[in-house]
Amino acid sequence: MPTNLHPRSETSAIVLTSTGSTSKVTASLPFGVYNDSTEFLSGASAQVAYVYKKLGGDVVDIELTPSNVYAAYEESVLEYSYIINLHQGKNVLSTVLGSQTGTFDHKGGITEGPTSASLKYPRFSLGYSKRVGDGAAAAGGFGGTVPQYSASFKPIKNVQDYDIQHIIQSASESGVDESGVPVSYAGKVDNKRVIVTKVFYISPRAMWRFYGYYGGIGVVGNMSTYGQYADDSTFELIPTWQNKMQAVMYEDSIYTRTSHYSYELIDNKIRLYPTPSYWGMNDADDRMWFRFYVDMEPYATGSYDSGIEGVNNLNTVPFDNLPYENINSMGKQWIRKYSLALCKEMLGQIRGKFTTMPIPGESVTLNHSELLSQAKEEQQALKDKLREMLKEVEYPALAKSDQEITDAATNVMKVTPLGIFVG
Q: Is residue 248 part of a domain?
A: yes
Q: What values do phi and psi take at 198, rounded to 5?
A: -160, 135
One domain for residues 264 and 195: yes
Residue 67 inside a domain? The answer is yes
277 and 330 in a common domain: no
Q: What percent of the chain has pLDDT over 90?
A: 48
Say if residue 207 is in the same domain as residue 178. yes
412 is a domain residue:
no
pLDDT at 201: 65
Domain end (from 259, 294, 329): 294
Q: Is residue 209 part of a domain?
A: yes
Tell me, yes or no, whether 278 and 159 share the same domain. Answer: yes
pLDDT tens string 25-47: 999 999 999 999 999 999 999 99
Does residue 419 sit within a domain?
A: no
* Alpha-carbon gap, residue 150 to 183, rounded angstroms: 9
User: Is residue 168 within 8 Å of residue 185, measured between CB atoms?
Assistant: yes
> Domain tally for the chain?
2
- Which residues are 153's β-sheet partners? 288
In tens, the pLDDT along 314-330 reads: 999 999 999 999 999 99
pLDDT at 13: 73
Domain span at 52: 7-123+315-406
CA dist 392 and 406 (Å) reads 18
Give CA angle at 84 (78, 85), nearest 5°: 85
Closest CA to 265 of 285, 286, 247, 291: 291
Is-above-0.75 flag for pTM?
Answer: no
CA dihedral 84, 88, 91, 95 (to 10 degrees): -170
Identify whether 287 is part of a domain.
yes
Whether residues 79 and 150 share a domain: the answer is no
Do 254 and 151 share a domain, yes or no? yes
Judge whether 415 lies within some domain: no
- Does residue 48 sit within a domain? yes
Residues 144, 284: one domain? yes
Do 81 and 148 lie in one domain? The reply is no
Do residues 210 and 279 share a domain?
yes
The pLDDT value recorded for residue 365 is 59
Q: Are residues 155 and 22 in the same domain?
A: no
- Of 384, 388, 369, 392, the C-alpha closest to 338 is 384
d(CA 45, CA 66): 8
Task: Give the confidence band of 284 by pLDDT, cuts at 50, 70, 90.
Answer: low
Residues 98, 170, single domain; the answer is no
- Whole-number average pLDDT of the chain: 82
Model confidence over 346-394: pLDDT tens digits? 999 988 876 655 555 555 556 788 899 999 999 999 999 999 999 999 9
**pLDDT score of 99:** 86
